[in-house]
Amino acid sequence: MPDIHSREYPDYGLTAEERRFSVVGHYYEYPGMDGERGEIWCYTDRISYQKGDVARLYVSATHRTFSIRIDRDGAVETRVFEKHDLACDWQDTPDQCSVNGCGWRVTLDIAVGKDWPSGAYRVTLASQGRDGNEISCQHLFIVTPGVPATAQERKGRRVLQVAATGTWLAYNTWGGSNAYQGITGHGRDQYATAVSTQRPWCRGFVSLPCEAPRVPIDIALQPAVVPRYPHMEWAFATGHSKKYASAGWASYDSLFFRWAERSGYGIDLCSQHDLHDHPEILAGYDCVVFVGHDEYWTWEMRDGVDRYVEKGGHVARFAGNFMWQTRLEDEGRRQVCYKYRARAEDPVYQTGDVTRATNSWEAPEIGRPGALTFGLNATNGVYAGWGGCAARGVRGFPVYRPGHWAFSGTGISYGDVLGSEGHVFGYEVDGLDYEVRGGLPYPTKESGAPEGLEILALGLASLVEESDDLAVEDRFLGDEDARFTAETLFGEASDENLEKVKRGSGMVVNFKRGSGEVFHAGSCDWVAGLKRRDPMVERVTANVLDRYLGKGAE
């Protein structure tokens, strides 16, 4: 459990200058970065495979041989493949590999076993460094159920988790560029508007030590203290990606998958790419789950989820930051998202269908607010528990409707805070425009909420760091996102419009649509409560799954 009683930031042995660089600096993984020590990197041709497929592995290493082992990363770690003394060599990598892919030659073909259960498979390569010591790297791919899964495949496995691979891609720092920072553009200082799957995952996306900090601050902050970012400091001190805590299997998706298997749920795993290409993969599952930091989606992915719910499916979303529309190109090997520069640079604004613009879902021209699918959106939520955004706020969800079936067996009451032990409220949260009547929150008519949506719990978030006690240079988040939101919604990022959008919220909501139902706990860090075995969070999660599997009360 986090030490919420500590009043001191953790010390990772960095100087004040190094601490600052860990936050504002642009550091990333690239071939040759380990210098004389030597290195090994790898990636596969696809994010996911079905049983019986062949996974193509691309390896670049400073030594001529390597060993490989593949383990299924579930409640129990299971070795499925191992080989030694395999040949490899160093492969040149283009400068803009983050955008266009590495283009390496195939090193090894791996037959995906027909007896490999659906799940995440961690690939670990080991080789010899120039100093004689071992060097290693990790990659990960997903084994999906059939498309659609047969009744035999689904037997006893009635939950399907969809990994947030669109967000993994957007945050992957390998090669120098992602959707946040980069070495693209004329000045080699721009974020990438397209990112490739054909490159390694950055360090920390596949596995992490237990002590790796999460984004929300777990100490008791003193008055007027300058914000610090332990997760970035730890990453810099230990050689992990700056974005390890922002996305990836290790920080988010794995925490739910392992918990579900440990708890006895039959669960399969697929990628968002599978959902995009084969939305019928959802068919036959009683419950489809989305978790963690789940920010980037295509139009087609939403179509698949909406049809599934309309036809009687159940969606449980324990995730936050439903924000950006993306497009997939080159048979899914490249993800496009112009984001803040969309209206100026995305070509669909001049020559295409503007509803497919890679802008915020809340942009009026797209005409498909995020709440229509999941009940909540990022624009009305966003930052909580870190930087200068609600840094001393609630660590869980304040409950307003304790009589709801999701809270059965918790003993929770009106005004209690759900998940504070596990610090589940944070990093980025999703909300709605709302009003309070008689002490209860309701979505406003302008919120875009689906008919019949109930707000079960609600905490405060912020789109800006606005404390007068924080110097501008100490504000990592600032007000950039709020001004973008104001411009998106109202056409101008004026101070007046900023005032309309800067206050956000994070919510737990539930609603029915068509013959189906959606439950959404709108926080990236809900899964932290499962990792930390917060009993309230575990009980609510089980209540949702059990109901959607036909075990709970109607």
DSSP string, 74-142: SSSEEEEEEEEEEE-------TTHHHH---PPP-EEEEPPTTPPSEEEEEEEEEE-TTSSEEEEEEEEE
Q: What is the pLDDT of residue 554?
A: 44
532 domain-assigned:
no
Would you tell me the crossing angle of helices 254-262 and 535-548 to the nearest 10 degrees?
80
Task: State the CB neighbour count (10 A cutoff) for residue 158.
Answer: 18
| CA atoms of 428 and 406, how far apart (whole Å) | 22
Q: What is the separation, in whole angstroms, between the first and last Cα of the chain?
A: 34
Q: Return the SS3 of 316.
A: strand
Q: What is the pLDDT of residue 151?
A: 67
pLDDT in tens, the chain (554 residues): 556 568 899 999 999 999 999 999 999 999 999 999 999 999 999 999 999 999 999 999 999 999 999 999 999 999 999 999 999 999 999 999 999 999 999 999 999 999 999 999 999 999 999 999 999 999 999 999 987 766 666 667 799 999 999 999 999 999 999 999 999 999 999 999 999 999 999 999 999 999 999 999 999 888 888 889 999 999 999 999 999 999 999 999 999 999 999 999 999 999 999 999 999 999 989 999 999 999 999 999 999 999 999 999 999 999 999 999 999 999 999 999 999 999 999 999 999 899 999 999 999 999 999 999 999 999 999 999 998 899 899 999 999 999 999 999 999 999 999 999 999 999 999 999 999 999 999 999 999 999 999 999 999 999 998 877 777 777 777 788 899 999 999 999 999 999 999 999 999 999 999 999 999 999 999 999 999 999 999 999 999 999 999 985 44
Q: Let me know: does 287 contact 206? Beta carbons within 8 Å.
A: no
Nearest residue to 322 via CA among 306, 336, 304, 302: 302
CA quadruple 264, 267, 269, 275: dihedral sign: negative
CA quadruple 381, 193, 188, 196: dihedral sign: positive
120 domain-assigned:
yes
107 domain-assigned:
yes
What are the contacts of 74-77 at 24+ separation with CB within 8 A?
74/117, 74/119, 74/120, 74/257, 74/258, 74/261, 75/258, 75/261, 75/262, 76/261
541 domain-assigned:
no
Amino acid, single-letter form, for residue 493: A
443 domain-assigned:
no
Q: What is the pLDDT of residue 480?
A: 86
Tell me the HSE value of 138 on the side-chain side, using a 13 A CA sphere: 18
Q: What is the pLDDT of residue 149?
A: 67
Q: Let me know: does 426 contact 385? Beta carbons within 8 Å.
A: yes
Given the DSSP bridges, would you call strands 65-73 and 77-87 parallel, antiparallel or unpaired?
antiparallel
166 domain-assigned:
no
Q: What is the pLDDT of residue 553?
A: 45
* 8-state DSSP, 410: S
Q: What is the pLDDT of residue 154?
A: 67
Please give the angle made by the CA atoms of 314, 317 and 323, to the nearest 5 degrees. 125
519 domain-assigned:
no
Q: What is the pLDDT of residue 476?
A: 79
Whole-angstrom CA distances from 182 to 42, 157, 187, 200, 341 are: 21, 41, 10, 16, 14
Look up the domain containing 77 and give its range: 31-148
| CA atoms of 251 and 214, how far apart (whole Å) | 8
CATH of the domain at 75: 2.60.40.1930
Max Cα separation, the chain? 71
Q: Is 63 exposed, middle or buried (0-12, 13-18, 19+ CB in 10 A)?
A: middle
Q: Let me know: does 51 contact 112? Beta carbons within 8 Å.
A: yes
HEC profile of 454-503 = EEEEEEEEECCCCCCCCCHHHCCCCCHHHHHHHHHHHCCCCHHHHHHHCE
| CA atoms of 104 and 246, how far apart (whole Å) | 28
CA dihedral 384, 389, 393, 396 (to 10 degrees): 0
pTM exceeding the 0.85 threshold for the entire prediction = yes
Q: Return the SS3 of 390.
A: coil
Counting the structural domains of the chain, the total is 1
87 domain-assigned:
yes
